[in-house]
C-alpha cells in the first residue's frame, strides 16, 4: 500500500486523530515490517473519503500500535468515469473493484447480464464490508483516500437508467464488444467527460443487450483483437478511456 488509510470511526473519542491498531492488523504490519517505522517516524496516510496527510508512530504498547494522523490536504477528485460492469465471478469482482479504485474511477455500476450467472448477486461479496475492503485496498495502492461509489442493479435496463439519472449525466458512452464491426477506440472522435464505459461479463453481450445499449447511445468499441477476461477488459478499457481524456 502506498498510503495507509484509516476509517474515521477508528479514531479515539478523546483525541480527534489518534488511534490504536492491533499489531496483527495488516496496516500495522505494513508500518512496522515493510515501512520499518519506529517511534515518532512518519508515513503517508489518509482518512477514507477524507483528508490526506501523514501518520506518525507514537509508541507500541505490547500488541497495540498507537498512531496519530496529521491531516494536510483534501483528497483529489476521482476521474469522471463510470464503469458499467456485467457481474463477473465474485473473486474477479473483488479484484476489479480493487483495481478500478486504484486507477481512480468515480463510479462502478454492477449489473446482471443475459449470459451472466444470476447466483452471483447472492454472493457473500455483497454482505458485510467486503466491497469496501476491496475499494480501500485499491485506494491505498493508488494513493487517494476517495472511494468509488459502487451500486448494483438486477437488469441492464435499470443500470442504464440509473446512470442516466445520475448527475452529471454522461456525455460519452462506450461499450466494449468483441464483434469485428466494433470500431477501434482510436477511431472515435472527441471524448467529452463524464464518460461511461460498459464491459460485459465473461461471455459477452447478447443481441438484445447490444440493441438496448445502442438505443441509449453507447458506441461499440474493440479493446484490441484479443478476447479478454472481464477483469482485464475493465482495467485496460478504463486506461484507454483515461488516455483519450488526457488523464493518463
Q: What is the 3-state secondary structure (H, E, C) of the chain?
A: CCCEEECHHHECCCCCCEEEEECCCHHHHHHHHHCCCCCCCEEEEEECCCEEEEEEEEEEECCEEEEEEEEEEECCCCEEEEEEEECCCHHHHHHHHHHHHHHCEEEEEEECCCCCCHHHHHCHHHCCCHHHHHHHHHHHHHCCCCCCEEEEECCHHHHHHHHHHCCCCCCEEEEECCCCCCEEHHHCCCCCCCEEEEECCCCCCCHHHHHHHHHCCCEEEECCCCCCCHHHHHHHHHHHHHHHCCCC
Closest CA to 79 of 135, 148, 131, 169: 148
| Interacting residues of 243 by C-beta distance below 8 A, sequence separation 6+ | none
Closest CA to 239 of 99, 68, 114: 99
Q: Which fold, 4-74? A: Ribosomal Protein L25; Chain P (2.40.240)
Domain-wise residue ranges, the chain: 4-74, 79-244
Residue 106 has a pLDDT of 96
0.75 exceeded by pTM: yes
Residue 224: per-residue pLDDT: 66
Q: Domain 79-244 adopts which CATH fold?
A: Alpha/beta knot (3.40.1280)
Q: Are strands 51-61 and 42-47 parallel, antiparallel or unpaired?
A: antiparallel
Mean pLDDT by 10 residues, the chain (248 residues): 91 83 95 93 95 95 94 95 94 95 96 84 87 95 95 93 89 82 70 91 86 91 74 89 85
Amino acid at each position: 500500500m502506498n498510503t495507509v488509510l484509516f476509517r474515521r470511526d477508528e479514531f479515539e473519542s478523546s483525541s480527534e486523530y489518534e488511534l490504536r491498531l492491533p499489531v496483527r492488523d495488516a496496516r500495522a504490519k505494513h508500518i512496522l515490517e515493510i515501512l520499518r517505522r519506529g517511534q515518532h517516524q512518519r508515513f503517508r496516510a489518509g482518512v477514507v473519503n477524507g483528508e490526506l496527510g501523514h501518520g506518525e508512530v507514537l509508541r507500541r504498547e505490547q500488541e497495540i500500535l498507537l498512531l496519530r494522523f496529521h491531516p494536510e490536504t483534501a483528497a483529489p477528485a476521482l476521474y469522471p468515469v463510470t464503469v458499467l460492469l456485467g457481474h463477473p465471478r465474485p473473486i474477479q469482482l473483488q479484484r476489479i473493484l480493487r483495481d478500478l479504485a486504484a486507477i481512480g474511477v468515480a463510479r462502478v455500476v454492477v449489473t446482471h447480464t443475459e449470459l451472466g450467472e444470476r447466483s452471483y448477486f447472492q454472493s457473500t461479496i455483497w454482505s458485510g464490508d467486503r466491497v469496501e475492503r476491496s475499494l480501500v485496498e485499491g485506494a491505498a495502492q493508488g494513493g487517494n483516500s476517495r472511494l468509488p461509489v459502487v451500486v448494483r442493479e438486477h437488469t441492464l435496463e435499470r443500470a442504464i437508467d440509473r446512470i442516466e439519472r445520475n448527475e452529471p449525466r454522461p456525455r460519452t458512452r462506450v461499450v466494449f464488444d468483441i464483434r469485428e464491426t466494433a470500431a477501434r477506440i482510436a477511431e472515435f472522435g472527441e471524448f467529452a467527460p463524464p464518460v461511461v464505459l460498459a464491459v460485459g461479463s465473461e461471455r459477452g453481450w447478447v443481441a438484445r443487450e447490444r440493441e438496448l445499449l445502442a438505443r441509449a447511445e453507447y458506441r461499440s468499441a474493440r479493446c484490441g483483437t484479443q478476447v479478454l477476461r472481464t477483469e482485464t477488459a475493465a482495467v485496460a478499457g478504463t486506461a484507454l478511456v483515461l488516455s483519450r481524456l488526457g488523464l493518463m
